[in-house]
Amino acid sequence: MDNRPIGVFDSGLGGLNGLCALRRFLPDENIVYFADSGRLPYGAKSRPQLREMAKQDLRFLSSFNVKAILIACGTLSSNAGDILAGWPIPTVGVLTSSADWMRRLEGSGPIAVIATEASIRSGSYQAALKEACPKREVVAIPCPDFVPLIESGHCSSKDPLVCDAVARYLQPARDAGAEALLLGCTHYDIIKDAISRFLGPDITLVSAAESGAAALCSRLLKEGRTGGSGETRFFTSGDSRSFSEAAALFLGRTAEEVPAGSVPPEPLPVPISLDHRSDAPC
């Protein structure tokens, strides 16, 4: 039994998919969620910037005496894997766990991965998938417009802007006849209906967010370090009211508005309080 919280962080709303998966697998865990919205989008940052930001995000969550950290961010998982692996608190990223998930899929045809520009530029997803699925062709596609669209509220599968972006970016996956598509950025789960509609029902979509959450839960269960009261605490380095409203809508909960405060460069995040209800979707 270990009642210490699990830390989860992402650049914004995408990591909430990982949080929801954690809640499904281990509903009693205490969770501290950090959205580094003040520095969104991560995908446009340089590798040195991302590596320093990874350390800052890890330090912030570590201050809550967390027992483990889910890095619900494909960009940091692919650009700072060594930093995450060497952290004194156990961490699980979404890159290795999602590649392991892809390894289990049947078939021998092409597979595709979509992620941020920084993730694809690093080559980490391509290398992990080639190692996991050596006989398959890997199609890697950067999708820089997805995160800004999602964070600005364009999430519907019928939204013209979303449909246009999906068609522009995912045509190579359709042309290649990809049998499976890895959603390498956790934000992309939010528009997976639009992605599935464009690619058709025969392609398998794999969520990096759910893969990472499942890997972390398996580790905690194996080590006997589960336990808690189901409490969730939210923090953001960006505008607290905007994140609170967006997160509440995503999670189906009632948000308690917190006045936005100034954010130091480190950053020291502003707390967001969301009412936790046992009947909420997550």
Distances 195 to 114, 125, 182, 208, 270 between C-alpha atoms, Å = 11, 19, 11, 15, 33
Catalytic residue among 73, 133, 155, 217: 73
The one-character DSSP state at 269 is: P
Rounded to whole angstroms, the Cα distance separating 9 from 57 reads 7
Task: Decide if 75 contacts 176 (C-beta within 8 A).
Answer: no
> Which residue in this structure is represented by tokens 């042309």?
175
Catalytic residue among 20, 133, 155, 185: 185
| SS3 state at 183 | strand
DSSP 157-173: TT-HHHHHHHHHHHHHH
Rounded to whole angstroms, the Cα distance separating 162 from 246 reads 17
Rounded to whole angstroms, the Cα distance separating 102 from 222 reads 22
Task: Decide if 235 contacts 33 (C-beta within 8 A).
Answer: yes
185 noted as active-site residue: yes
Q: Which two tokens stand for residue 260?
A: 């936005």
Q: How many residues does the chain have?
A: 282
| SS3 state at 279 | coil
Q: Which two tokens stand for residue 91?
A: 């961490």
> Which residue in this structure is represented by tokens 């607290």?
240
143 noted as active-site residue: no
Active site residues: 73, 185
